Structure 1
Amino acid sequence: MKALWKEFSTYAVVGVANTLIHWQVFYVLVTAAELSQAASNVAAFCVAAMFSFYVHALYTFEAGASVRRYLAYLCFMGVVSFVVGHYADVWKIHGLVTVASFSLLSLICGLFFSRFILFGGREA
């Protein structure tokens, strides 16, 4: 249990940096580039995911991941980010609510996906 708590805390710290990157890219794409929230959310997720994947592989899970598992992770979380952004566009929800909602979903879904699928091959 202690190891899982340490893993979650490290995951959360990296998640804060990931969230800052995601929110900034999202904001620039929505306001300056005038993209939809769906497109902006997916693009922002991809940029932030590159950062967090590298840091998580080095420090959080201390294991490498296969390219296939990494692509599965990107596809899964990319679809989640698109769906959140799409419904925000349809329902005309403020962008802050969009990124906050996705950040919460990303923390929960991303932790379990990363732990059990992406980096699931390592010993506990």
Structure 2
Amino acid sequence: MVIHFAKYFSIGIINTLIHWIIFANIIYITNTPQSYANLIAFIAAITFSFFSNAKFTFKKKATSGRYLAFLVFMGILSYLTGFVADKINAAPIITLVAFSAISLILGFLYSKFIVFKGIE
């Protein structure tokens, strides 16, 4: 499990950079609410993350069903993080850091035990 987490984490670094850059551009250029900006940035970065983790971390076939399961779960998590941030008037950097931490842990567990279950 440690090796899978290390691989997931390394792919997550690139995914996080993609997410953060898009999120920042949306927030500071268009003044879009954080909930929507976080969701849009997430959707853009999730495709890279899903296919990379399917191939390199979990060595499983990247099917549309798995992609949809991962996208929906993580998308809800992304939106809720932004929604809470909007409600408490959190700074965008807090939203990014919080979502990155939450999605690292919950995303890995969800991927390992639900989306790509059955790995050793």
TM-score (norm 1): 0.92
CA-to-aligned-CA distance 1:34-91 (integer Å, 9 cap, x gap): 1110000001111111111111111100111432232121111111111110111111
The 1:78–1:123 alpha-carbon spacing in structure 2 relative to 1, beyond 3 Å, is closer
> For residue 100 of structure 1, what is the aligned residue in structure 2?
97
2:57 pairs with 1:60: yes
Q: Is the 8 A contact 1:30 1:37 kept in 2?
A: yes
> For residue 49 of structure 1, what is the aligned residue in structure 2?
46
Q: Is the 8 A contact 2:55 2:62 kept in 1?
A: no
- 1: CA distance between counterparts of 2:70 and 2:102? 14
Q: Is the 8 A contact 2:54 2:61 kept in 1?
A: yes
Residue identity in the other structure for 1:11:
Y
> For residue 39 of structure 1, what is the aligned residue in structure 2?
36
- 1: CA distance between counterparts of 2:119 and 2:109? 16
What SS is found at the alignment partner of 2:30? coil
Equivalent positions of 1:61-80 (< 5 A) are 61-80=58-77
**Which range is displaced more, 70-79 or 20-29?**
70-79
What SS is found at the alignment partner of 2:77? helix
Specify every segment of 5 or more residues in structure 2 that has no aligned partner in the other structure, as ranges.
none
The runs of 4+ residues in structure 1 deviating greater than 6 Å are: none
> For residue 114 of structure 1, what is the aligned residue in structure 2?
111
> For residue 21 of structure 1, what is the aligned residue in structure 2?
18
- 2: CA distance between counterparts of 1:33 and 1:76? 26
Percent identity of equivalent pairs? 38
2:89 pairs with 1:86: no
